[in-house]
Structure 1
Amino acid sequence: MISPASIDAMLTAERALFAQRNPNSAALAAKAANHWHRGVPFHWMLDWGTPFPLFAERAEGAELWDVDGHRFDDFCLGDTGSMFGHSPAPVADAIARQASRGLTYMLPTDDAVVVADELAKRFKLPFWQVTSSASEANRAVIRWCRGITGRDQILIFNGCYHGAVDDVFVDLRDGVPMLRRSLVGQVYDVREHTRVIEFNDLAALEAALAPGDVACLLMEPAMTNVGMVLPDDGYLEAARELCTRHGTLLVFDETHTISTGYGGHTGTYGPIPDLFVLGKPVAGGVPCAVYGFSADVAERMEHVRAQGETGHSGIGTTLSANALALAAMRACLTQVMTPAAYAHMLPLAETLAQKVKAVIAANGLDWHVTHIGSRGEFICSDKAARNGTEARAAMQGPLEHALHLFLINRGVLIAPFHNMTLVSPATRPEQVDRLAEVLDECLQTLIG
Structure 2
Amino acid sequence: MSNRTTDVTPLDRDRLARLHEREREAFRAARPRSAALAERARAHMPGGVPMSWMVKWPGDFPVFVESAEGAHFTCVDGIDHVDLCLGDTGAMMGHSPAATVEAVTRQLSRGITTMLPTDDAIAVSQGLAERFGLPYWQFTLTATDANRHALRYARLLTGRSKVVVHNWCYHGSVDETFATLDDHGETIDRPSTIGPPVPVSETTRVVEFNDLEALERALAHGDVAAVLVEPALTNIGIVLPDPGYNEGVRELATRYGALLVNDETHTVCAGPSGYTGAHGLQPDLLVIGKSIGGGIPCGTFGFTADIADRIARSVELEDIDVGGVGGTLAGNGLSSAAMRATLEHVMTPAAFEHMVPLADAWADGVQAAVDRVGAGWNVTRLGARAEYTFVPRPPRTGQEAHESDDFELQQYLHLYALNRGILLTPFHNMALMSPATTAADVAAHTTMFDDCVSELFAGR
CA distance in 2, matches of 1:201, 1:375: 24
By how many angstroms is 1:419 displaced? 0.4
CA distance in 2, matches of 1:67, 1:47: 19
1:197 equivalent in structure 2: 207
Trace 1:233-382 onto structure 2 (pairs within 5 A): 233-306=243-316, 309-382=319-392
Alignment of 1:81 with 2:90, yes or no, is: yes
Query: Kindly tell me: are residues 310 and 2 of structure 1, through their superposed partners in 2, closer, same or farther at Cα, counting changes over 3 Å?
Result: closer
CA distance in 2, matches of 1:163, 1:88: 25
Query: Kindly tell me: are residues 192 and 101 of structure 1, through their superposed partners in 2, closer, same or farther at Cα, counting changes over 3 Å?
Result: same
Query: Kindly tell me: are residues 307 and 112 of structure 1, through their superposed partners in 2, closer, same or farther at Cα, counting changes over 3 Å?
Result: closer
Query: Kindly tell me: are residues 403 and 157 of structure 1, through their superposed partners in 2, closer, same or farther at Cα, counting changes over 3 Å?
Result: same
By how many angstroms is 1:190 displaced? 2.2
Q: Give the AA of the match of 1:252.
A: N
Trace 1:185-224 onto structure 2 (pairs within 5 A): 185-224=195-234
Q: TM-score, normalised by structure 1?
A: 0.98
By how many angstroms is 1:127 displaced? 0.2
Q: Alpha-carbon deviations, 1:232-288, whole Å to 9, x = none? A: 000001111111111110000000000001210000012110000001111001110
CA distance in 2, matches of 1:355, 1:184: 38
Out of 288-297 and 207-216, give the one that drifted further: 207-216
Trace 1:87-236 onto structure 2 (pairs within 5 A): 87-174=96-183, 175-236=185-246
CA distance in 1, matches of 2:46, 2:403: 32
By how many angstroms is 1:432 displaced? 0.5
3-state SS in 2 of match to 1:161: coil
Q: Alpha-carbon deviations, 1:74-122, whole Å to 9, x = none? A: 1100000000101000001111111111100111111111111100001
By how many angstroms is 1:308 displaced? 8.0
CA distance in 2, matches of 1:309, 1:117: 27
Q: TM-score, normalised by structure 2?
A: 0.96
3-state SS in 2 of match to 1:181: coil
CA distance in 2, matches of 1:282, 1:254: 11
Q: Alpha-carbon deviations, 1:10-47, whole Å to 9, x = none? A: 11001100000000001101111111122111111111
3-state SS in 2 of match to 1:102: coil
2:28 equivalent in structure 1: 19
By how many angstroms is 1:437 displaced? 0.6
1:427 equivalent in structure 2: 437
- Unpaired segments of 5 or more residues in structure 2? 1-9
Alignment of 1:414 with 2:424, yes or no, is: yes
By how many angstroms is 1:312 displaced? 1.8
Q: Give the AA of the match of 1:173.
A: D
By how many angstroms is 1:187 displaced? 3.5
CA distance in 1, matches of 2:145, 2:133: 22
Contact 2:150 2:301 in 1 (8 A): yes
Query: Kindly tell me: are residues 113 and 157 of structure 1, through their superposed partners in 2, closer, same or farther at Cα, counting changes over 3 Å?
Result: same
Alignment of 1:3 with 2:15, yes or no, is: no
2:6 equivalent in structure 1: none
Alignment of 1:69 with 2:69, yes or no, is: no
CA distance in 2, matches of 1:311, 1:265: 33
Q: Give the AA of the match of 1:191.
A: S
Q: Give the AA of the match of 2:177.
A: V
3-state SS in 1 of match to 2:315: helix
Query: Kindly tell me: are residues 241 and 307 of structure 1, through their superposed partners in 2, closer, same or farther at Cα, counting changes over 3 Å?
Result: farther
1:55 equivalent in structure 2: 64
Q: Give the AA of the match of 1:21.
A: A
Q: Give the AA of the match of 1:294.
A: T
By how many angstroms is 1:307 displaced? 9.7
CA distance in 1, matches of 2:104, 2:424: 27
Q: Give the AA of the match of 1:284.
A: G
Query: Kindly tell me: are residues 192 and 13 of structure 1, through their superposed partners in 2, closer, same or farther at Cα, counting changes over 3 Å?
Result: same
By how many angstroms is 1:411 displaced? 0.4
- Unpaired segments of 5 or more residues in structure 1? none
Query: Kindly tell me: are residues 12 and 116 of structure 1, through their superposed partners in 2, closer, same or farther at Cα, counting changes over 3 Å?
Result: same
Alignment of 1:445 with 2:455, yes or no, is: yes
Q: Alpha-carbon deviations, 1:314-362, whole Å to 9, x = none? A: 1121111110000000000000000110110111111111111111112
CA distance in 1, matches of 2:377, 2:56: 24
By how many angstroms is 1:310 displaced? 4.7
Query: Kindly tell me: are residues 307 and 88 of structure 1, through their superposed partners in 2, closer, same or farther at Cα, counting changes over 3 Å?
Result: closer
CA distance in 1, matches of 2:356, 2:246: 22
By how many angstroms is 1:182 displaced? 2.1
Residue of 34, 46, 49 corresponding to 1:40: 49
Q: Give the AA of the match of 1:426.
A: A
Query: Kindly tell me: are residues 307 and 117 of structure 1, through their superposed partners in 2, closer, same or farther at Cα, counting changes over 3 Å?
Result: closer
By how many angstroms is 1:51 displaced? 0.5
Q: Give the AA of the match of 2:341.
A: A
Structure 1 residue ranges, 4+ long, deviating more than 3 angstroms after superposition: 306-311
CA distance in 1, matches of 2:19, 2:110: 52
Q: Alpha-carbon deviations, 1:54-86, whole Å to 9, x = none? A: 101111110011000001111100000000101
Q: CA RMSD in A?
A: 1.1
Out of 22-31 and 170-179, give the one that drifted further: 170-179
3-state SS in 2 of match to 1:223: coil
Q: Give the AA of the match of 1:181.
A: P
Taking only the aligned residue pairs, the percentage that are identical comes to: 48
CA distance in 2, matches of 1:82, 1:187: 32
Q: Alpha-carbon deviations, 1:184-236, whole Å to 9, x = none? A: 22232121121101010011011111222110000000000111110000000
CA distance in 2, matches of 1:79, 1:277: 17
